[in-house]
Amino acid sequence: MSRKTQHTTASAAGSILDIDGLDVTFSTDGGDVNAVKDVSLSVTPGEVLAIVGESGSGKTVTARSILGLLPETAQRSGAVIVSGKDVLSVSADQLRKMRGSDVSMVFQEPSTALNPVYTVGWQIAEGLRAHHRRASKAELKAKVVAAMRQVGIPDAESRYDYYPHQFSGGQKQRIVIAMALALGAELIVADEPTTALDVTVQAEILDLLRELRDETGTAIVLITHNMGVVADLADRVAVMYRGDLIEVSPVEQLFSEPKEQYTRDLLAAVPRLGSTVAGSRKAAAAGEVSAVADRTADGRAGTASAGEAGAVVDRAGVADRAERESIVVARDLDIVYPGGIGRPDFHAVKKVSFDIRAGEVYGLVGESGSGKTTIGRAIAGLTRASGGSLTVLGHEMVGFKERSFGKIRRRIGFVFQDPAASFNPHLTIGECIAEPFAMHKRDLSSADRSKRVLELLDSVQLPGAYAARYPHELSGGQRQRASLARGLALDPELLIADEPTSALDVSVQAKVLELFVELQNRFDFAALFISHDLAVVDMLSDRIGVLFHGELLEEGTGEKVLGAPSNDYTKRLIASLPVPDPAEQAKRRELARTLRPTAG
């Protein structure tokens, strides 16, 4: 059934969700914040409505309003009608009965949504126990096993007693979806359900949500910043900006003829394979990137576009970099994690050989568990190399002594995936950025340290006043800029960036990536850029390596590896990457299915 036919059929059934004039205001120390302003939306059975927008646009507040999950400090008005009942006016007892049976939620991060000390079977059954107090243990288990099978958990009956850590990231997300389905909810609110997943796992989860919608008629409200996911799954799209609902369109119309400039800028900010391979560095050197990032005053028309800045010029200095010496050399590198009592050793990296030249950006891609982060940590001396050879800035890492590596480590910067977790919440941003000076005993006076922090903040385009703020007072994009500043504090020759933009909105991601390009062009450091986003790696990297189960399958330029891949796994990665074009995405989805390995 086509999307158009399906939506027409669903509309005849009436709405399962009606939001009418929703207004939400939070009282804060700095005054009232009007997070959602007079929003009206509806969703019919079997329909997928995607709500998109940058951080702070109000999309998550709108989603949480549907389940009555707003804090007591929220002042609400309007109506949120779910299955004929107004969530904003029912009693707490009625609301508890609605959750799970009428509407349920799939949260962004399954590792935090699942309790590590209870089995997954017990956790899926928790909602069933609350709603069916007289059900026997056998009846509950039968319902849970059925839900696990419905979301594609293999050998569900025996894995009922497994704990969350015994499942992969994609399987944990399936379990969270099973929790949402267990009580037969007619409406599921999915808040960024694929953000932390690799492209192949993400494709499988999207297929699962699509199948559930088709088979059960479940309606889905999808909150996401990934426009490729929107093109893949949504029937209609609602665009929010600073609490306002500025556009609602069928998905095909939104991508082909967006009405608002803000929507056009959101779409332009999405990295695409091949569109930015050539130009980002030279654009940054010429100052073109900053000009794109800063255009227009009110922000709606000013979403930064990596694609616009990068597609027009050729990358600078590629030939020059190819002649430079290698500062990281891996030859038949092995990394093994000891298994412990009763468990076998885990061979995380197997006979991997590559090098990173001075001033070069080397992209490393692959699914979770492929060994990307393990290699990055080994280069930084945070994980021990077991065999082969790994030379970093002239220092052999196989069998190295920590004391001898100290002077080398100060020449290496590290940018972590989640700066909110890597920053000390009790220190100001200035103190966090200055930490490397103390760690590596840089003898700077207080005045010189403060001056250097201000210089670093300026280099990442943050005002000097931010030095006195705490991490929680910055947005996600601002924290990632501060994380870049800390990584560059000691003028490193090598920067390791581990998934530094995976959790950012597309426009914020575009600005951070453009900043990374500008800084790399200015300071000419080498970089290992680790990511599961092929389009981002394609945009930044001189060369790319593809890892699978610890083995390096192929490497080369983006044109070679991503433009003409020789390995089926690389082809599957590329086909699984969602693109912001519904028609093209439908073709890619079918191709990804044909390339997906069969069971066993």
Who contacts 121 (Cβ-Cβ below 8 Å, separation ≥6)? 141, 144, 145, 148, 160, 161, 162
The dihedral through the CA atoms of 104, 151, 506, 220 has a sign that is: negative
The confidence score (pLDDT) of residue 495 equals 95
Taking Cα atoms as reference points, which of 354, 352, 390, 394 lies closest to residue 371? Answer: 352
Q: Per-residue pLDDT averaged across 453-473, rounded? A: 90
Q: How many CB atoms lie within 10 A of CB 567?
A: 13
CA atoms lying within 13 Å on the CB side of residue 98: 25
135 pLDDT more than 90: no
Q: Per-residue pLDDT averaged across 222-236, rounded? A: 91
276 pLDDT more than 50: no
Identify the weakest region by mean pLDDT among 15-24, 378-387, 412-421: 412-421
More confident residue, 238 or 13: 238
What proportions of the chain, in percent to the nearest 5, are helix, strand and coil? 45, 20, 35
Do the beta carbons of residue 519 and residue 488 sit within 8 Å? yes
275 pLDDT more than 70: no
Q: Would you call 155 helix, strand, or coil by DSSP?
A: coil
Who contacts 443 (Cβ-Cβ below 8 Å, separation ≥6)? none
Do the beta carbons of residue 512 and residue 480 sit within 8 Å? yes
The confidence score (pLDDT) of residue 365 equals 92
The confidence score (pLDDT) of residue 342 equals 76
545 pLDDT more than 50: yes
| pTM passes above 0.75 | yes
If pLDDT is split at 50, 70 and 90, which confidence band does 166 have?
confident
Q: Per-residue pLDDT averaged across 52-56, rounded? A: 84
The confidence score (pLDDT) of residue 293 equals 35
The confidence score (pLDDT) of residue 274 equals 72
The confidence score (pLDDT) of residue 320 equals 67
Alpha-carbon distances, residue 102 vs 86, 266, 534, 542 (angstroms): 12, 33, 38, 51
If pLDDT is split at 50, 70 and 90, which confidence band does 132 have?
confident
The confidence score (pLDDT) of residue 317 equals 52
312 pLDDT more than 50: no
More confident residue, 363 or 291: 363
340 pLDDT more than 80: no
More confident residue, 270 or 61: 61
Alpha-carbon distances, residue 94 vs 21, 38, 450 (angstroms): 22, 25, 56
Pairing of strands 494-498, 326-337: unpaired
The one-letter code for the residue type at 359 is G
pLDDT in tens, 193-208: 887 678 888 888 888 8
pLDDT in tens, 432-459: 999 998 887 777 788 888 999 999 999 8
What percent of the chain is predicted at pLDDT more than 90? Answer: 43
Question: In this structure, what token pair is assigned to residue 116?
Answer: 């590590």
If pLDDT is split at 50, 70 and 90, which confidence band does 6 have?
very low
Q: Would you call 558 helix, strand, or coil by DSSP?
A: helix
More confident residue, 508 or 234: 234
What mean pLDDT is reported for the chain? 84
273 pLDDT more than 90: no
556 pLDDT more than 50: yes
Q: Per-residue pLDDT averaged across 330-354, rounded? A: 90
